[in-house]
Structure 1
Amino acid sequence: MNPEAAARLARWHGRLDGWQGGDTLLRRSPAQAWFRRRAAGRLAVLGYHGVEDPANFEAHLDLLQRRFVPVSLERVEEAAHGGRALPSRSVLVTFDDGDHTVHAHGLPLLAARGVPAVCFVIPGLVGTSAPFWWDETEHLVRNGGTTHRVPPARPDLTVHTLKLLSERERQLALAELRATASAPCPPQRQLTAVQLRELEKGGVVVGNHTLTHPCLDRCGDDQVRREVLEAHDRLTELTGRPPTSFAYPNGNVDERAHRFLTQAGYRSGFLYNHRLADPGARHPLRLDRLVVSSRTSVVRLETILSGLRPALFRAGRRAARAVARAGQPLSSRS
């Protein structure tokens, strides 16, 4: 794609994304119908975090039951290892981080409909009131926290920049933010061991999301081993069974983690790359996932499940990169 065409596509995608009727237009478009037919043989792995909007999440589940086939992690792992093929329009529901709302709001809604799911948990936080480090970072920046290790930026952008640092530098930056902020981050409700067992009893399988949630590709060898294997041991102790599934923090794949997961007998690993999955064609430890939120509208969810919106997202990103390589900002193009 030449830079001129890339610029036009990026502008069109941005305007459509910001227009209130854009999702409805996409859902009714011939492209949606084409993408939906193409997606019928793929697996849609929905990657949520919390269940911040229970009513909207309930609407998501209603859509999945009407038009898709919710499947279990066990069935996905079977297909990923050459077993029975999944039904057409299969979907797997997953959650990252182990937010307490998955237990408080998600579990009752999932259990009432018999929809299986997976919750990838950070066992280093289980039973504590420690905040997620990204939530703490945003709070500290909003309250005047500074660090010389990254340029000053909005709280959410500071989190993104910290993820690019080595793990040691990230920890030092966080210490500086804590020392300079006018108020510490308040305690945050985390899942307990009892709640983990209740999730599993209710059909939500507990998976491994590392011990403390660093970006593994920014860690040293010893820390990668600890983050994967100590988390594995702790989750085994907490739930009474060894986890078989892993989700890479921030979606950052790391070959060292891959080796440790294989060593520990993991049967599946999940990315966070906003793509439909093909368990038979991908390595079982490299399964694709779609990015979604419990606040995502049902109309938008339909275009995510078809693969149309993810395709537009990737096209817009490629366009932006093409323009950047051409050395001319999008705002200067008419």
Structure 2
Amino acid sequence: MYHAVDPDPAPATLGLSVTPEAFAAQMDVVAERGFTPLTTAALAAAWRTGGPLPARPLLVTFDDGYEGVHRHALPVLAKHSFASTVFVSTGWLRGRHETGGALDTMLDWAQVRELADAGTEIGGHSHTHPQLDQLDAGRLRFETLRCREIVGEELGTAPASFAYPYGYSSRRVRRTVREAGFTQALAVGNALARRRQGPYALERVTVRRSTGVEEFTRLVEGRAIARTFAADRVMTKGYALARRARGAARGHWI
């Protein structure tokens, strides 16, 4: 799971960004180790139907829709002929539909179309990037449906895949995402995606500014993931308890 790819990102995105040089080195590792990146939709379809998967399948995903994905990541992906998925928050992108609130320079719709034309899957990431599990039913439906409608309007094809903003979801959120027409969704979890997780709770590992090549290699090979993200998992459990309490108090957690 990537966010911004930028040599000089905004302070708000710094920790979850990578430099263009780091991204290029990481994709070299993917190529050298014999992994085959594919889209989120392709992975989910294979698991759903029992169809074949390529050798060492891997998802390369980007959340939010930062401009550097087009400027810096796309050339590297094209060099290796790698597939990827970009999950866009439609209200954050530049141009039509913009609502403000973006943390850094975002893609515009012409760039999104260029990414799609290059074979990148464009997925949904809500409209305004809220914490979906804290929304009431009406707002939750709006965030998922409006996102899917806008991507469909702009690209001519509605997105099939979704990623939860901040990685937060609940049964109610997952149900709403499914009802909006998305056929699979990604969380975070900092663990390898497994078929048993189900199509609406597939997990990913986070790539950060601090992720060196050796650590990245261990992560893509599934080694030492639990140790690498031990602190994150403790914090996540604490956040989950607090969020569940807030959601229950508002009457819309389940």
Q: Same fold (TM over 0.5)?
A: yes
Computed over aligned residues only, the root mean square deviation of the Cα atoms, in angstroms, reads 2.4
Note if contact 2:205-2:219 (Cα within 8 Å) is conserved in structure 1: yes
Tell whether 2:205 aligns with 1:238.
no
The structure that has the greater radius of gyration is 1
CA, structure 1 residues 248+318, in 2 after alignment: closer, same or farther (shift >3 Å)? closer
Instruction: Please show how residues 268-307 of structure 1 align to structure 2 within 5 Å.
Output: 268-278=184-194, 280-293=195-208, 296-307=211-222
Q: 1:51 is matched by which residue type in structure 2?
A: V
Q: Aligned residue for 2:36?
A: 69
1:119 and 1:314 mapped to 2: Cα distance? 23
Tell whether 2:61 aligns with 1:94.
yes
2:2 aligns with one of 48, 56, 76: 48
Note if contact 1:270-1:288 (Cα within 8 Å) is conserved in structure 2: yes
Q: Aligned residue for 1:81?
A: 48
1:59 aligns with one of 3, 16, 25: 25
2:178 and 2:140 mapped to 1: Cα distance? 14
> So what's the TM-score if we normalise by structure 1?
0.61
Q: Aligned residue for 1:19?
A: none
Instruction: Please show how residues 147-296 of structure 1 align to structure 2 within 5 Å.
Output: 188-278=104-194, 280-293=195-208, 296=211
Residue deviations 1:63-108, cap 9 Å, x none? 1011122223342022231322434422110000001100111111
Note if contact 1:123-1:210 (Cα within 8 Å) is conserved in structure 2: yes
Task: Tell me which protein shows more helix as a share of its residues.
Answer: 1
1:230 and 1:221 mapped to 2: Cα distance? 14
Deviation of 1:297 (Å): 1.4
Gaps of 5+ in 1: 1-46, 136-187, 322-334
CA, structure 1 residues 282+191, in 2 after alignment: closer, same or farther (shift >3 Å)? same
Q: Aligned residue for 2:16?
A: none
CA, structure 1 residues 308+131, in 2 after alignment: closer, same or farther (shift >3 Å)? farther
Deviation of 1:305 (Å): 1.8
Gaps of 5+ in 2: 7-18, 237-254
1:269 and 1:310 mapped to 2: Cα distance? 21
Deviation of 1:203 (Å): 1.8
Q: How many residues align?
A: 222
Deviation of 1:294 (Å): 6.0
Note if contact 1:193-1:238 (Cα within 8 Å) is conserved in structure 2: yes
Identity of aligned residues (%): 33
2:85 aligns with one of 107, 111, 118: 118
Q: 1:281 is matched by which residue type in structure 2?
A: R
1:107 and 1:85 mapped to 2: Cα distance? 26
Q: Aligned residue for 1:176?
A: none
Q: Aligned residue for 1:106?
A: 73
